[in-house]
Amino acid sequence: MIRLTYASTATKEYGSEELLKLLKKCRTNNGAKNITGILLFANGTFFQVLEGDEATVNNLYAIIEKDKRHKDCTIIDKQKITERAFPYWSMGFEKIDAKELNKMDGLNDFFEHDFTPSGFVSHKNIIGPLLTHLRGKLVKQVAEECHEELPLEHDDPFIKLLHRTIRASVKVLAFLMVLVILLGVLDVIFVMYEKMSEPPYFHLSINEILETFGAFLAVLIAIEIFLNITLYIRSDVIPVKLVVATALMAISRKVIVFDFHHLDPAYVSSSALVVLGLGVTYWLLDKKH
């Protein structure tokens, strides 16, 4: 992969609506090519970072150069990378005025006088601080707009009341699940004490070991369910991966304690398919992140 940074001069003044249309088009085109990056517009100058496969980025830049909406298209930096600085957006966008840009650490008064293609080439040392600032803004923006199952703000007062009620109920469920976990731990202790305090002492048969494993796994599943419950009152996580992990642990627990002498082969086979399906799903989710 490479990161290509360039700047250009707009051939006309762009309003907010025109910039949003441009952004939408960039997101569509670049997303289809697995190109990510950031687009900055200020003082009549476009500043853009493109990240992705080298050949794809080079081909895209060749098209960008011929675009009549800007001129003086100048490559500021081009380097090979092992990971993306902007991996979560098909194209980020910022329209920032000079006053805000001047507040960035290490950039001084650059944006008042040198925010031009030639100015960027002459001051390449500002690229690092600028990208760090822009990445920080986008991370904050994504955090504010992220997934939330039960938002506290809603246009309908009745829906807002229902969300608050459900959130309160979730907290009660979370508290009760903690009690279940504590009782589960006590059950594990009791099972171990019961099995090892009877003759022959400190000796467990295979079936007793499996029963002990079942008690342990029940507690672990309860902990996973507690985490799932609390995710519904958080706004920074989409709980898909954790839900799949919980389901995988639950079915795995059943497999561990199977009594194969009394189970129908079709039941065992279907359980194996469920484990396989959940395992592949979890692997794909983990690989994606």
**If pLDDT is split at 50, 70 and 90, which confidence band does 36 have?**
confident
Looking at the predicted structure, is the pLDDT value of residue 105 above 80?
no
Instruction: Calculate the CA dihedral of residues 229, 234, 236, 239 and round it to 10 degrees.
Output: 20
Q: What pLDDT digit, counting tens, does each position of 178-226 carry?
A: 999 999 888 888 878 877 777 777 777 777 777 777 778 778 878 877 8
Q: Which residue has the tokens 């697995």?
A: 34
Tokens of 208: 């007793």
Tokens of 194: 């019961």
Report the candidate in 74, 64, 54, 56 with the shortest Cα–Cα distance to residue 25. 64
Looking at the predicted structure, is the pLDDT value of residue 48 above 60?
yes
Confidence (pLDDT) at 236: 47
- Which residue(s) pair with 58 in the sheet? none
Mean pLDDT within 226-255: 69
Q: In this prediction, what percent of the chain has a pLDDT beyond 90?
A: 7
Q: What is the distance between the alpha carbons of residues 43 and 12, in angstroms, rounded to a whole number?
A: 11
**If pLDDT is split at 50, 70 and 90, which confidence band does 58 have?**
very high
Residues 6+ apart with CB under 8 A from 5: 47, 48, 49, 50, 75, 76, 77, 78, 127
Report the candidate in 249, 244, 199 with the shortest Cα–Cα distance to residue 219. 249
Between residues 258 and 141, which one has the greater pLDDT?
Answer: 258
Mean pLDDT within 222-236: 69
Looking at the predicted structure, is the pLDDT value of residue 109 above 80?
no
Between residues 201 and 33, which one has the greater pLDDT?
Answer: 33
Is residue 115 classed exposed, middle or buried when 0-12, 13-18 and 19+ CB atoms within 10 A define those classes?
Answer: buried
Q: Secondary structure of 128-172 in the HEC alphabet?
A: HHHHHHHHHHHHHHHHHCCCCCCCCCCCCHHHHHHHHHHHHHHHH
* Range name among 119-123, 139-143, 208-212, 284-288 with the lowest pLDDT average: 139-143
Mean pLDDT within 64-72: 87
Share the mean pLDDT of the chain: 77
Q: What Å distances lie between residue 5 and 8, 56, 116, 212, CA to CA?
A: 11, 14, 13, 59
Q: What is the distance between the alpha carbons of residues 12 and 289, in angstroms, rounded to a whole number?
A: 40
Looking at the predicted structure, is the pLDDT value of residue 254 above 70?
yes
Beta strands in the chain, from DSSP E residues, in sequence order: 2-10, 36-42, 45-52, 70-80, 92-95
Q: Is 264 helix (H, G, I), strand (E, B) or coil?
A: coil
